[in-house]
């Protein structure tokens, strides 16, 4: 099979959560994000943040394992979101998350992200509560900052210039969050070069920056990362988990995100979505921790699969040598970013 697109749609339960709040990561306000229909949501920006944090941990763990086993390891990393490079062969965020290089004269060095995410949205209207947070000061005698600065050093211990801080933070009681992630396989580790003549775009060329094995490894990391989402609100305050209870993983022969609707659809629409996938020889894996996970007498998983079984089978399908990634370049040998820049 030639794989052109991969969709991962998940349902993840979250309880007593402030998943899209936390002043340490994105300076969000204390109120939880909520749609007009009363459902809480997690922005696409936060979803991508959580995804790339999971990719970074998985990539670092693999590098550490290869070093320990004295095997050759890859010099790849995930750059910070505020300092993305253009080194696609090394920087996984540059490759999978895209970038914009504005110093390219007549044409910006623009890379559209191959990996995209929808906002995570609760399936039902949410019940919002308020949490009272207090920053305690040991000395109740509060004076102004000007008066405090005029005190002798020996007297300052008796006073405080900071009053008791009382903060209300909203939280959602219990939600089943729908999340969707999509991988445009045709763009993973592949870059475009546009040729212009007299200001007109006359040609587009494609160049690959890593081997096919490395492209599969990066897609493997991304799929696995969707089952390992934990970096939401400040973890010291709220250890929120976005790990799925149900999952649908689709390996498609075309670029389509229609299966994003699956978990919100009624039975007949679900059946038609799966029929459409089958009609174009797409392959999908469904996992359900509530109703699946039974084993036969030999210990092999039976359908419906559990979430971990669905991910295991999906990864095995990806790594099967009979399944190939769509390659726009038509070439096997990769080039470096420097070589690509010298062609400009």
- Check residue 118 and give its pLDDT: 97
pTM, two decimal places: 0.87
- Check residue 10 and give its pLDDT: 98
- Check residue 226 and give its pLDDT: 98
- Of the candidates 248, 245, 267, 268, the residue with the CA atom closest to the CA atom of residue 259: 248
- Check residue 240 and give its pLDDT: 84
Distance separating alpha carbons of residues 266 and 243, to the nearest angstrom:
24
> Which whole-number Å values give the CA distances from 249 to 41, 150, 215, 295, in the listed order?
22, 66, 18, 21
Helix axes 44-68, 212-225, angle to 10 degrees: 120
- Check residue 150 and give its pLDDT: 75
pLDDT digits (tens, 9 = 90+) for 85-138: 889 999 999 999 998 776 655 455 778 999 999 999 999 999 998 877 776 666
Residues of the chain with pLDDT under 50: 22-29, 106, 235-236
**Cβ count near 211 (within 10 Å):** 14
Which tokens go with 268? Answer: 């007949």
Longest dimension (CA), the chain: 82
- Check residue 290 and give its pLDDT: 94
Which tokens go with 162? Answer: 């900071």
- Check residue 344 and give its pLDDT: 64
> Which whole-number Å values give the CA distances from 114 to 14, 104, 118, 255, in the listed order?
28, 21, 13, 11
Distance separating alpha carbons of residues 184 and 221, to the nearest angstrom:
14
- Check residue 144 and give its pLDDT: 73
- Check residue 44 and give its pLDDT: 94
Contact assessment for residue 137 and residue 162, using Cβ atoms and an 8 Å cutoff: yes
- Check residue 130 and give its pLDDT: 82
């Amino acid at each position: 099979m030639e794989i052109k697109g991969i969709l991962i749609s998940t349902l993840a339960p979250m309880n007593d959560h402030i998943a899209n709040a936390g002043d340490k990561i994105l300076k969000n306000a204390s109120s939880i994000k909520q749609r007009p229909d009363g459902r809480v949501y997690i922005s696409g920006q936060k979803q991508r943040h959580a995804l790339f944090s999971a990719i970074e941990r998985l990539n670092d763990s693999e590098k550490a394992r290869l070093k320990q086993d004295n095997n050759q390891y890859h010099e790849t990393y995930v750059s910070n979101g505020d300092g993305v490079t253009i080194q696609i062969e090394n920087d996984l965020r540059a490759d999978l998350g895209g970038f914009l290089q504005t110093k390219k004269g007549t044409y910006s060095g623009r890379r559209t992200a191959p990996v995209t995410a929808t906002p995570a949205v609760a399936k039902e209207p949410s019940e919002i509560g308020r949490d009272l947070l207090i920053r305690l000061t040991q000395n109740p005698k509060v004076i102004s900052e000007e008066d405090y600065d005029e005190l002798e050093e020996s007297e300052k211990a008796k006073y405080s210039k900071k009053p008791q801080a009382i903060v209300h933070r909203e939280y959602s009681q219990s939600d089943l969050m729908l999340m969707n992630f999509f991988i445009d396989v045709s763009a993973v580790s592949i870059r475009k070069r546009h040729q212009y003549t007299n200001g007109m775009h006359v040609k587009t060329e494609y160049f690959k920056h890593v081997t096919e094995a490395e492209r599969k490894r990066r897609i493997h990391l991304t799929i696995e990362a969707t089952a390992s989402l934990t970096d939401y609100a400040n973890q010291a305050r709220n250890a929120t988990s976005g790990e799925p209870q149900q999952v649908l993983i689709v390996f498609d022969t075309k670029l389509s995100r229609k299966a994003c609707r699956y978990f919100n659809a009624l039975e007949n629409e679900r059946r038609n979505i799966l029929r459409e996938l089958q009609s174009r020889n797409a392959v999908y894996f469904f996992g359900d921790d509530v109703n699946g996970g039974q084993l036969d007498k030999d210990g092999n998983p039976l359908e419906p699969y559990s979430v971990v079984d669905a991910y295991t089978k999906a990864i095995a399908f990806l790594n099967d040598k009979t399944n190939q990634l769509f390659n726009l370049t038509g070439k096997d040998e990769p080039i470096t970013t420097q070589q690509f820049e010298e062609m400009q």
